[in-house]
Amino acid sequence: MSSISIIEAVNTTSLTFQGQQIITAMAAGVAYVAMKPVVEGIGLDWASQFVKLKKQGEKFGCCDITIPSLGGLQKMICIPLKKLNGWLFSINPAKVRDDIRDRLVRYQEECFTALHDYWNKGFAIRPTETTADDRTPLRGIVNRIIGKYGLTYQAVYKLVHKEFGVEHINELSPKQTSEAIEYLAGKVIEGEFLGKNTTPASKFDFKLYADNANAACCLLEQLCEIYGKEVDPALRLLESPAATKMIGRLSSALAISQCIRGALYRNQGMKLSG
C-alpha cells in the first residue's frame, strides 16, 4: 500500500453514511474514509477485516493516512470514499450487529438492483424520496403513539432513523415509508412503548401549551398576511405553481393550529381575548 501523510494539508471531517458516523479525509484531491471506525461501527472484527483489506489493498485502493484525532495524530488504513459502497456490498450480513443487519440486507438488495439495471438497461435510478403527502400516514401513527404513550417526537422518530439509516424521514423511499409504518405498528403490538411514559397526564401543563399554541397561531396569521400581501403577488406574476401550494399549506397549518389552540383553551375553561 502507499503511504500518505496528512497533517495540515488535508481536511478531515465526520459525516453520516447509511446511518453510521464515518471519518473522511481529503488527500491529493481524493476523498478517503477511515475504515476502522466503519468496521467496528457495524460490529465486525477489525483484526480480520484489516487482514482482508491488506490482501485486497489494490482492489479497494487502500492507503495509510495519518489523521488528526483527540489523542493526536493517528495512522489509519483508508479507502477512497467512492469504493465504500462496494466494500459494504462484499460484507456478509450474518457477521454484522443484529440491529443493523436488516438495513445492510436492504442496502445490498438495492445494489443488486442497481447493478442489474445498469448493465441491462443502461442506467440505474435510485428510489425517489417521498413527498409530505406520502409521509402523512407515518406522521399519523407517530402522533398516535405520542398521544397514547406520552413519548416525544424525537424519541419515536429516532427509532425510525436508526432502523432505516436516515437522518430525516423525508429521506425514506415510498417503500421504506410503508415499512416504517409497519415497524412502528409492530412495536406497539409487542408492547415496546409500554411503561415508557415519562410525562404523567396529571402534570401536563395545559395552560402553558395553550399559550404556546396561541403564540404559534399569531405567528402563522402574521405569516399568512405577509405572504398574501408581498410574496403571493410576485409568485403569480412569475406564473409559479408554488403560489397555490404555499398558500394552501399555510392555510392548513393555521387551521390545524387554531383547532389545537381551541381544544387546549376549552380544556382549561379559558377564552381567547380579542
pLDDT at position 129 is 64
pLDDT at position 273 is 58
Asked if the model's pLDDT at residue 56 lies above 80, the reply is: yes
For β-strands 30-34 and 20-27, DSSP reports them as: antiparallel
Asked if the model's pLDDT at residue 209 lies above 80, the reply is: no
Average pLDDT of the chain? Answer: 77
Per-residue cell: 86: 462496494
| Confidence category of residue 202, pLDDT binned at 50, 70, 90 | very low
Q: Which of the residue ranges 15-29, 115-129, 228-242 would you say has the lowest mean pLDDT?
A: 15-29
Per-residue cell: 49: 477485516
Q: Which of the residue ranges 9-18, 34-43, 72-81, 161-170 would you say has the lowest mean pLDDT?
A: 9-18
Asked if the model's pLDDT at residue 117 lies above 50, the reply is: yes
Taking the C-alpha atoms of residue 204 and residue 5, their distance in angstroms, rounded to an integer, is 57
Q: Which residue has the higher pLDDT, 112 or 208?
A: 112
Amino acid at 59: K
How many CB atoms sit inside 10 A of residue 243's CB? 18
- Pick the closest to residue 183 from 150, 129, 215, 145 (CA basis): 145
pLDDT at position 274 is 47
pTM above 0.95, yes or no: no
Asked if the model's pLDDT at residue 91 lies above 80, the reply is: yes
The C-alpha cell 488527500 sits at 27
What are the pLDDT digits (tens) for 148-194?
888 888 888 888 888 888 778 877 887 788 888 888 888 777 777 76
Average pLDDT over residues 25-47: 85
Asked if the model's pLDDT at residue 121 lies above 60, the reply is: yes
Q: Which residues of 67-87 are buried (b: 16+ CB within 10 A; e: fewer)?
A: beeeeeeeebbbbbbeebeeb
| Confidence category of residue 71, pLDDT binned at 50, 70, 90 | low
Tell me how far CA of residue 148 lies from CA of 151, 152, 186, in angstroms: 8, 11, 15
* 106 within 8 A of 40, measured Cβ to Cβ: no
Asked if the model's pLDDT at residue 198 lies above 50, the reply is: no
| Confidence category of residue 9, pLDDT binned at 50, 70, 90 | very low
Asked if the model's pLDDT at residue 248 lies above 50, the reply is: yes
| Confidence category of residue 110, pLDDT binned at 50, 70, 90 | confident
Asked if the model's pLDDT at residue 123 lies above 80, the reply is: yes
